[in-house]
Each structure stands twice: as structure tokens, then as C-alpha cells.
Structure 1
Amino acid sequence: MSGLNYQKQAQDFYGKAPVIILGSGASAAHGMSGMWALGNHLVENTDISGLNASENDTWDEFCQLLKDSVDLEAALYCVTASEELTFRIVKSTWALINSEDNGIFRSSLEDNSMFPMTRLLQHMFKSSLKTVNIVTTNYDRLAEYACDQGRIHHFTGFTHGFFRQLAGPAEITSARRANIWKVHGSLDWFQSPLEDTVALSNINDIPDNYQPQIVTPGTQKYQKTHLEPFRSIIHNADQALNEAGSYLCVGYGFNDEHIQPKLMVKCLRQNTPITIITYALSDSAKRLILDGKAQNYLAIERGETDDQSIVYSSLDMNPLKVEENLWTLDGYLSLIM
């Protein structure tokens, strides 16, 4: 496979106005904690005072699973946490991710070229596109910050302002807009004392009688995502995925049941082109894309160093080793711009 081919393939796929899918790897690039670091944080920082005996047993079992090197998602699925224990895990998760998110926001105030995503979105909007859809499993607001730095309006399912309420996509109009569909919730979403979900800007602590609306892995995940606002957000994400001309996956591990099925049906049944850039292709990604029946794919992962990439393409049976960084968003942009 010549250099020309994969570059041309990248440009062809990009030219079909991709829906962008962001996974945890996209945030890890900015220093956000991954599942392993989050697991350690939960063990050390979750408030377990006053739990009943059964909840304490569940917590001990969960901590033991993590010590036995079971990954966090699997550990949370193995135990059945009570509502109270789940709430405490959510609070502890929120505290870590929120403080990291705030740190990145503060750094971005001094570095206006911090987000490659800003350059990607600005480039996409140089065309006749009016809307770009971003679907993400992340709770952080890095996609929103990237939009702000590029003077791009973003919509996450809420009105604008400091105390934001749920709004339909037609309620807010602008000449160009990035829709950011956060299928597992967001750091700034809270259930209010009225039991509706509101979004609060610039909040450093969880307000009294408010609960963070982020869905952690585990048995309650399915239950939670059948309720608002998740139901509407997932519906809008599904619609974006269904209508997509192509997909650009950044640091996405292909392990999420809310995004996965739609994505795979489109790639396998309709041959919708998919580009994946990531530090390391997950087993799920390899199974679904490389060993699956996907006809139109370009997948790039890191080689042995940051300046080496392994390129997998539907144009060639054999992976290609390239001595340059194409696996980060920055590196990918060098292919398409």
C-alpha cells in the first residue's frame, strides 16, 4: 500500500462529513485519567462511612476485584451496588474528573492552540457544512472547550446560560453549530431537587440536594439511560449516527452498547467509511473492524514510539508501518489538511 493510498483514503473518508466519535483516549491525550487511574482513585477516595453491612461487603468485593487487576468496568458489572453506594461512587468519580477538567480549562486560557479538535472543527466548517455532530461517552467538557476556542457554537441538549434547562435541537439556532451528544452524561449535568436535569456552568462543587448526572459503568447503567435526559440524548446521537456519511473515531475503544450497534450496522450493512485513530486499537475494535466484515476502514494506532504509526486499511491485507505520528488527532490532521 503506497503512502498515496492511505492519505487519499483518509481524505476521501473525511470528505464525507464524518460524525466524530470521541472515546476516553481523546481525553487521555490531554492528561485526563483513564479507567485504571479512576479505579485507584475510587478505592482511595470514595466515602464509605455509614454504609450498612451488605454495602460494605459489596465495596470490599469491588476493591478486591480491582486489586486482582480486573478492569474497572468489569469490576462494576460484577458487583450489585445499592443506590446509596452507586451515588457515592458517582460523587467520587465526579470529583476526580471535574478537577482534571477544570485544570485543562485553565491551561487552555493561556494556550489558544491547545486543542487539535478546534482545528479539525474549523476546517470542517470551511465547507458548506452547517452542523457537525460529535458523539461521546466522555463526561468531560474538552469538546466544548475546543468549540469555544474556535468561536464555534455548541449544543449539548440544553438552553444557553449559567442555569441551563433541557431544550430540543430546534430551539436554539445559529449559522454553524457543533452538536455534542454526551450519551453517558456530563460533569455539568445535575438532577435538581425537582428531579429534572439541569446543566450548571462554572460549578466546582456539587450543590446541596443536587446529584451529578453521569452514568458510571455497572448494573445501573442500563436503568439510568432509559430515563431523561439520556433517552433524548441517545436518540439524537442515534439519529446522527444513522445519517452519517462517514465516521471519525478518536481514542474510542468500541466497548459501548449505546454507540456500538448503530455504528456496526452502518459499517457492515451499508459500507459507511470509518476512520479510527487511537493509541492502541482495542480488542473490540480489531474484532469488529479488522476481523469483521467492514469494507471501508482506515485504522491507525501508535507503533513502538510516538513517531511511528501502524496503518490498517481495507485497501490492503497487510498493516503498514509508517515512520511518522498519524495516530494522534494532530497527526491525523496532517493527512487531511
Structure 2
Amino acid sequence: MSDLNFKKQAQDYYGKAPLIILGSGASAAHGMSGMWALANHLVANTDISDLSDAEVEAWDKFCQVLKDGVDLESALHKVAVTDELTSRIIKATWSLINAEDIHIFTESLQNQAMFPLSRLLRHMFKSSLTKLNIVTTNYDRLAEYACDQERLHHYTGFTHGFFRQLAAPNEMNSARRVNIWKVHGSLDWFKSPLEDIVALSNIQGIPVNYRPEIVTPGTQKYHTTHLEPYRSIIHNADQAITAANSYLCIGYGFNDEHIQPKLMARCQRQNTPITIITYSLSDAARKLILDGKAQNYLAIERGATDDQSIVYSSLDKTPLTVEKNIWSLEGYLSLIM
């Protein structure tokens, strides 16, 4: 496989106006904590005061599982935690990710070129497109900030403003719009004292009597995502995935049950093209894409250094090592623009 072949393949797939899937790697590129850093933060900062003896015992067991090297999601599956302990884990998670998110937002005020995603969206809208879809498992608002820097309206399931309430997609009209389907919730979503879900823009702390609406890994995830607004968000994400002619996965590890089934069905049964750019291909990505039945794929991961990339393509069974960075979003843009 030559450079020319995978560049043309990248451009062909991109030319089909891909649905964008953002995973944790897309945020890690901006310094957001990954699962390991979050696990360490939870062990050190989760409030366990006034818990029952059984809850403290469960918490100690959970911490020990993490210290034994088990990843966060697996640990939360292994140890049964009560609703109260889950609530405290969510608050500790929120405090870490929100502080990092606001720090990045503040930095972006001084740096108009901070988000490669901004340039990608701008380039995609140079066509006749009026709507773009982003599906993400991330809680942070980096996709929203990237839209703002390009003066693009975005819709996440809520009205505009500072105190935002749930709104159907047809309530929010604009000439061009980016739909951001956040299947695990968002830092600005809260359950109010009235028990409805609202969104509060860029606040520093959790308001009294409000609860963050983010879905942490573990068994609670499956219960929570059957409730609103997750049910509608996942439904809309499913529709976007089903309608897409191509997929661009950025830092996505292929480990989420809410995105995977329809995505893989499209790639394997209907040969929908998929491009993956990431720091390191996950085991799940290798199994589903490289070793699976995906017919049209281009996967690029980092090589031995930041300035080296390894390219896997459905056009050739042999991976190609390229001596430049095309595995990051910034690098990928050099292939398609």
C-alpha cells in the first residue's frame, strides 16, 4: 500500500460526510483525565463519611480491586455499590472532569486555534450540508467549545441559555447546526429538586439539591440510560448512526454497548466506510475492525513516536508505517484538506 492509496481512501471516506464519534482519546489530547487518572482521583477524593458499614466495606473492596490493577469499568462491575455510594462516586467524578473542562475552556479564550475539531467542522460545512452529527461518550464540553469557536450552533437536547430545559430537535432551528449526542450525559446536566433534567452552563460547583447527570461505568449505567434524557439521546444517536454514509472515530475505543451494535452492523453488513484515528488502537477496535468483518476501513494509530503512524487499511493486509503524525486529529486533517 502506498501513501497515495491511503490518502485517497481517507479522502473518499471523508467525502461521504462522516458522522463523527468522539471517544475519551479525543479529550485526552487536550489533557483531560482518562480512566486510570479518574480511578486514582476517586480513591483519594470520594466522600465516604456517614456511610453504613456495608457501604464502607464495599468501598474498601472497590479500592482494593483498583489497586490490584483492574480497570475502573471492570471494578465497578465487580463490586456492588448502593445508590448513595454511586451518587458520591458521580460527584467525585464530576468535580475532577468539570475542573479540567473549565480550565480548557479558559485556555481556549486565548487560543483560537486550540481545537482541530473546529477546523474539521468548518471544512465539512463548506459543502451543502446543513447539519452534522457528533456522537460521544464523553461528559466534557470540548465539542461544544469547538463549535463555539467556529460560530456554529450546537444542539445537545436542550434549549439555549443559562438555565436550559429539554427540547425536541425540531424546536431548535438554525441555518447550520451540529447535533452533539452525549449518550452518557454531560457535565452541565443536572436533576433538579423538581426531579426533571436541566442543563446549567459552565458553573463551578454542583448547586444545592441538584445532582449531576453523568453515567459512570458499571452496572448502574444500564438502568440509568433507560431513563430520560438518555433514552431520547441514544435513540437520536442510533438514528444518526443508521443514516450515516461514513464514520470518523476520533480516540474511540469501541467499548460502549450504546454505540457499538448499530455501528458494527452498518460496517459489517452494509460495508459503510469507517476511519479510526487514535493514539493506540484498543483490543476491541482490533477485534471488531481489523479482525472482524468490516469491509471498508482505515485505522491509524501512533507509532513508536509522535511523528510516526501505523496505517491499517482494508485495501492491504500489511500495515504501513508512515514517518509523520497522521494519527491525531491535527495530523489527519493534513490528509483531507
The TM-score, its normalising length taken from structure 1, stands at 1.00
Query: 2: CA distance between counterparts of 1:139 and 1:151?
Result: 22
- Residue 310 of structure 2 contacts residue 320 of structure 2 at CA under 8 Å; is this kept in 1? yes
Whether the aligned pair in 1 keeps the contact of 2:133 and 2:180 (CA below 8 Å) is yes
Q: Which residue of 2 aligns with 1:212?
A: 212
* Counterpart residue identity of residue 292, structure 1: G
Task: Output aligned runs, 1:92-241, within 5 Å.
Answer: 92-241=92-241
Name the SS of the counterpart of 1:249 in structure 2: strand
Q: CA deviation at 1:328?
A: 0.1
Match in the other structure for 1:298: 298
Unaligned runs of 5+ in 1: none
Deviations 1:270-315 (A, max 9, x none): 0000000000000000000000011000000000000000000000
Deviations 1:201-222 (A, max 9, x none): 1211100110000000011110
Q: Which amino acid aligns with 1:13?
A: Y
Cross-structure match for 1:287: 287
Give the whole-Å Cα distance in 2 for the aligned partners of 1:15 and 1:167.
31
Runs of 4 or more above 2 Å deviation: none
Q: How many residue pairs end up in the alignment?
A: 337
Deviations 1:204-263 (A, max 9, x none): 110011000000001111000000000000000000000001000000000000000010
- Measure, in 1, the Cα distance between the counterparts of 2:119 and 2:101: 20
Does structure 1 residue 80 correspond to structure 2 residue 80?
Answer: yes
- 1:11 is aligned to 11
Partner AA of 1:158 in structure 2: F
Q: CA deviation at 1:2?
A: 0.8
Equivalent AA in structure 2 for residue 249 of structure 1: C
Distance in 1 (CA, whole Å) between partners of 2:93 and 2:263 is: 28
Gap regions ≥5 residues in structure 2 = none
Once residues 36 and 13 of structure 1 are traced to their aligned partners in structure 2, the CA distance between those partners, rounded to angstroms, is 33
**Superposition map of 1:249-268 within 5 A:** 249-268=249-268
1:44 aligned to 2:41?
no
- Structure 1: how far apart are the matches of 2:195 and 2:81? 22
Partners of 1:140 and 1:262 lie apart in 2 by 24
How far has the Cα of 1:186 moved from its partner? Answer: 0.1
Which amino acid in structure 1 is aligned with residue 105 of structure 2? F
Q: Secondary structure at the match of 1:20?
A: strand
- Structure 2 distance, partners of 1:190, 1:158, is 12
State the distance in 2 between where 1:58 and 1:14 align.
48
Instruction: Name the CA distance, whole Å, in 1 between partners of 2:196 and 2:262.
Output: 28
Contact 2:23 2:252 in 1 (8 A): yes
Secondary structure, counterpart of 1:232 in structure 2: helix
Q: Structure 1 residue 173: deviation in Å?
A: 0.3
In the alignment, which residue of structure 2 is the partner of 1:31? 31
Q: Matches of 1:196 and 1:234 in 2, distance apart? A: 18
Opposite residue 160 of structure 1, the aligned amino acid is: H
Per the alignment, in what secondary structure is the counterpart of residue 109 of structure 2? helix
Which residue type is aligned with residue 307 of structure 2?
Answer: D
After TM superposition, give the deviation of residue 195 of structure 1 in Å: 0.7
What amino acid maps onto 1:196 in structure 2? Answer: D
The percent of aligned pairs where both chains have the same amino acid is 76
- In structure 2, the residue corresponding to 1:213 is in which secondary structure? strand
Q: CA-atom RMSD, angstroms?
A: 0.4
Q: Is the 8 A contact 2:102 2:202 kept in 1?
A: no
**Residues 54-98 of structure 1: CA deviation (Å, up to 9, x unaligned):** 101110010001100001111011111100000000000000000
Shift of 1:332: 0.2
Name the CA distance, whole Å, in 1 between partners of 2:168 and 2:6. 39
TM-score when scaled to structure 2? Answer: 1.00
Aligned-partner SS, 1:110: coil
